[in-house]
Amino acid sequence: MRRRGHREQRVDHLLPGKATDRQQASRSGSATLDWILVTATMLPILAFVIPNSKRMMVLVWEMFCVQVSWPFL
C-alpha cells in the first residue's frame, strides 16, 4: 500500500521541453515586449551619445594629454 502525499508531486512543469499548452500561450507577445523595451532604452542613449561623441573624444584626449604632460610642467 502506497501513501500519496507531498512527496509525489508533479514536476513536469520544471523539466525543460515539457511545457504545456497553457504555458506556451502565456509567452505569446514576449518578443514584442522585449523589442519595445530594448528600443525604448537604446534610442534615448543613442540620441545623447551620437551628437556628443566628438566632444567626448576631444575631452578624453585633452585629459589624457594633461595627465601625461603634468610632471613636465
Domain membership of residue 60 (yes or no) is yes
Question: How confident is the model at residue 16, as a pLDDT?
Answer: 66
Distance CA 66, CA 73 (A): 10
Place of cell 523539466: 15
Cα of 4 vs its chain's centroid, Å:
43
Q: Which domain holds residue 43?
A: 12-72
Domain membership of residue 41 (yes or no) is yes
Question: How confident is the model at residue 68, as a pLDDT?
Answer: 94
Domain membership of residue 7 (yes or no) is no
Q: What global pTM score does this model have?
A: 0.40
Per-residue pLDDT of the chain (73 residues; tens, 9 = 90+): 555 555 656 666 666 665 555 555 566 778 888 888 889 999 999 999 999 999 999 999 999 999 999 888 7
What are the respective helix, strand and coil percentages of the chain, to the nearest 5? 70, 0, 30
